[in-house]
Amino acid sequence: MAENVALLVSELATNALRHGGGQYTMELGATAEAVHVIVSDPSSSLPGARPPPDLHRGSGGFGWHLIRHLTSDVTITPGPGDGKTIQARIPRCPTERGNTATAVRTTALR
């Protein structure tokens, strides 16, 4: 599980730096059931999967696919300010995640 949390943290931080305005805040928390990662950045642009990742040119495109695969729940909400906050949950019990990509819930952004 630690490897999955580290990968999730890395992907969310990288996405915030590359696509979210270059700065972000991150909160990590845990309950008996799951680990929670919350990232806020100043961009109102929604994250999303790019076309199929390019395995030959190293141009990326894997991040959002990985995030959705690693998590059992992802929520995107407005704020702070004009930005957005992404809340992701990794269950401590791997069977809760299943084999399908996580659905993403989005609250209307300004």
Question: For the residues of 56-102, what is the DSSP string, one character each?
Answer: TT-----HHHHHHHH-SEEEEEE-STTSEEEEEEEESSGGGT-SSPP
Question: What does the alpha-carbon distance between residue 93 and residue 82 come to, in Å, rounded to a whole number?
Answer: 35
Q: Which amino acid makes up residue 34?
A: A
What is the pLDDT at residue 53? 65
- Tell me the average pLDDT of the chain: 84
The closest alpha carbon to 72, from 6, 11, 8, 25, belongs to 8
Calculate mean pLDDT across residues 71-78. 94
Nearest to 90 by CA among 20, 51, 38, 34: 34
- Spell out the residues 6+ positions from residue 94 whose beta carbon is closer than 8 angstroms to its own: 1
Provide the pLDDT for residue 1.
84
pLDDT band at 99 (very low <50, low <70, confident <90, very high): very low
> For residue range 16-61, what is the model confidence (pLDDT) as tens digits?
998 888 899 999 999 999 999 999 999 999 887 777 666 677 667 7
What's residue 34's pLDDT? 95
Q: With contact defined as beta carbons under 8 Å apart, do 28 and 9 qualify?
A: yes
Q: Which residue has the higher pLDDT, 61 or 106?
A: 61
Minimum mean pLDDT among 7-11, 35-39, 103-107: which range?
A: 103-107
* pLDDT score recorded for residue 73: 93
